[in-house]
Amino acid sequence: MGRVLVLYYSWSNGNTERVAQELADACGADVERIHTAAPYPKDYNRTVSQGKREVEKGFEPELMSLHHDPADYDVIAVGTPTWWYTMAPAVRTLLNSREWNGKVVVPFSTCAGWEGTALDDMAALARGARVAEPLTVTFGSDGGDRMVTDPRKVTDWAGRVAALA
């Protein structure tokens, strides 16, 4: 039985955290939220603007150290909110700062209806990994915390990921 680690970034409402937690529960996995060293503004619109500039530049913010080492796991699920049609900059840093050879990486994202290319972009950065079971979960178009995707789809997915380990 392989070991599963769920790493995720979440900023707005904890939408990505909710999906990460359900996945971790289904897999009996260790779970950890990643944090940028410098916090984003508390104001939503200011973070939306800053996020746009960072995504356009491919900016990789410094992260706080992780408490879990992905090297110790066989399956690593990586979750992000969609920021400007791709992964949040923090997740770009995470994926680019490590080797993923020999690992199974499960990319997942949450969005407000405009999912863009976050999952494909994450898969491209998980160099050397076998990418499996990518999933986007859609929440309300107001940027809030109402899940639009059928929750059974998330539960089924979590079961399939658990079976990978």
Ligand X SMILES: Cc1cc2nc3c(=O)[nH]c(=O)nc-3n(C[C@H](O)[C@H](O)[C@H](O)COP(=O)(O)O)c2cc1C
Burial 87-112 (b: 16+ CB within 10 A, else e): bbbbbbbbbeebebeebbbbbbbbbb
CB closer to ligand X, 1 vs 42:
42
CB closer to ligand X, 22 vs 115:
115
Q: Which residues of the chain form contacts with ligand X (CB under 6 A)?
A: 10-17, 47-48, 51, 81-85, 110-116, 139, 143
CB closer to ligand X, 4 vs 80:
80
CB closer to ligand X, 113 vs 128:
113
DSSP the chain: ---EEEEE---SSSHHHHHHHHHHHHHT-EEEE--BSSPPPSSHHHHHHHHHHHHHHT----BPPPSS-GGG-SEEEEEEEEETTEE-HHHHHHHHTS--TT-EEEEEEEESS--TTHHHHHHHHSTTPEE---EEEEB-TTSSS-B-S-HHHHHHHHHHHHHH-
- Nearest approach in angstroms of CB 7 to ligand X is 13
Return d(Cα 106, Cα 133) in angstroms, integer.
Answer: 6
CB closer to ligand X, 49 vs 96:
49
